[in-house]
Structure 1
Amino acid sequence: MSLIALRRALTEPATPGIGPLPEDVTRLLLDLEAPPRLAAHLRAVHDTARGLVDAFGETLPRLRFDREEVLFGAATHDVGKVIHTGELSGPGHAHEQAGYELLRTHGVDARLARFARNHATWTAADISTEDLLVSLADKIWKAKRVGDLEDRVVERIRRDCGGSPWEAFMALDDVLDALARDADDRLAFQARHPITVVTGP
């Protein structure tokens, strides 16, 4: 695989201002020679998560969550697709456990590696607010709305911030609507980067 294509996916300027991944995640993806499409996807979801936590910090300052956990989780949630590349373009859940194990092998603490394993489910009784926000970013980056997931986030907002369910929903809805406006640009950015790179003659 050409590392040039991967580096381009990791560094290419993008509209709407999709920022870079954390340096440690960038190094990991380069070491793993990750598919460029995966790197672009992780950038898009990480950037969406950053928008999400920034907006919550302004509009819901009493909502309790660890910002850095959310951002790391968003930046690495699909890393298992380095192994299960078929899941970059099709359905599948094999990448979830594989991603967790891959991160642990590379020295990532279980507290942070867990997002790779549980980003596609949000029904566990002990699910954390950080887990819910990573799952939410992984949906809203492409403007996908998932009622059950949003209901759980609304309940966290009510628990931490008070107010009625309707007020909590409206606060969340405003944030998600604003983030969803750039979904087409994020999708176009991801699509510009290949799943695989053919090298040689």
Structure 2
Amino acid sequence: MTATPTDFLALALDAPGEPPLRPLPAAVAELLRSLDAPPRLAAHLRAVHDVAVELTDWVRDRYPELGVDRDGVLFGSATHDVGKVLHPEELTGAGSAHEDAGRELLLSRGFPPSLARFAATHASWDDPVVTIEDLLVSTADKVWKDKRVPSLEDRLVKALAAATQREPWEEFLALDDVLARLGAGAGPRLAFQSAFPVYT
């Protein structure tokens, strides 16, 4: 029996992965099913979301005074590329059309602007109005594949140092340590994503 796109999407959403990947929030998984999302997109969103859980929990434990919106970060990481349903060419090539398209798609499905924004802000970390939550989604979207972006990490370090009144170098070392640990798991996450086809 030949697997269908629906079968692959179900596997991308539900297969445990190795090492196991956390499931996406139920509302996001249902959204992806209703959109017949490309299986590779669902696998990518799971990988980024899984990293975001670890990163956000680290921030919450180390910086309790920040009051980070954990649910917002996890929703944002789970939907940041949802606009690629409408721009599937950006699953395998460069492009930013999916950013605004993703925000509009989420708004049209009834998600509030406070959550839909992540689809548009995940590549805009240099914007002066981005929040710590936006920076965490952007960071998870890079480090899941062990990509390090100094300008993004500098923004995050400044935000963390400002919140704690600790020296930026101290926050840099702490962040560098956690990102190195998360990046070390990139191989299995990349293999999980690559196991799923891109259907246009």
Asked whether the two chains share a fold, i.e. TM above 0.5, the reply is yes
Task: Quote the residue 2:14 is aligned against.
Answer: 11
The AA in structure 2 aligned to 1:21 is L
1:146 Cα shift? 0.3
For each residue in 1:137-196, what CA deviation from the matched residue of structure 2 results, as whole angstroms up to 9, or x when unmatched?
A: 000000000000000000011111121111010111111011111001100000001011
**Which residue of 27, 33, 37 maps to 2:36?**
33
Q: Which runs of 5+ in 2 are unaligned?
A: none
The AA in structure 1 aligned to 2:197 is P
**Which residue of 44, 47, 71 maps to 2:47?**
44
Q: Alpha carbon RMSD of aligned pairs, Å? A: 1.2
Task: Quote the residue 1:130 is aligned against.
Answer: 133
Task: Quote the residue 2:71 is aligned against.
Answer: 68
Task: Quote the residue 1:116 is aligned against.
Answer: 119
Task: Quote the residue 2:165 is aligned against.
Answer: 162
Q: d(CA) in 2 for partners of 1:100 and 1:126?
A: 17
Task: Quote the residue 1:54 is aligned against.
Answer: 57
**CA contact under 8 A between 2:81 and 2:102: conserved in structure 1?**
yes
**CA contact under 8 A between 2:146 and 2:183: conserved in structure 1?**
yes
TM-score by length of 1: 0.95
For each residue in 1:123-150, what CA deviation from the matched residue of structure 2 results, as whole angstroms up to 9, or x when unmatched?
A: 1111101000000000000000000000
Task: Quote the residue 1:181 is aligned against.
Answer: 184
1:100 Cα shift? 0.6
**CA contact under 8 A between 2:102 and 2:120: conserved in structure 1?**
yes
Q: Name the SS of the counterpart of 1:62 in structure 2.
A: helix
**CA contact under 8 A between 1:64 and 1:160: conserved in structure 2?**
no
Task: Quote the residue 2:92 is aligned against.
Answer: 89
Q: d(CA) in 1 for partners of 2:25 and 2:154?
A: 30
Q: d(CA) in 2 for partners of 1:157 and 1:63?
A: 8
**Which residue of 36, 57, 80 maps to 2:83?**
80
Q: d(CA) in 2 for partners of 1:166 and 1:2?
A: 48
Percentage of pairs with the same residue: 53
After the TM superposition, which parts of structure 1 deviate over 4 Å for at least 4 consecutive aligned residues? none
**CA contact under 8 A between 2:77 and 2:140: conserved in structure 1?**
yes
**CA contact under 8 A between 1:16 and 1:185: conserved in structure 2?**
yes
Q: d(CA) in 2 for partners of 1:89 and 1:37?
A: 10
TM-score by length of 2: 0.95
**CA contact under 8 A between 1:63 and 1:156: conserved in structure 2?**
no
Which of structures 1 and 2 has the larger relative contact order (alpha carbons within 8 angstroms, sep 6+)?
1
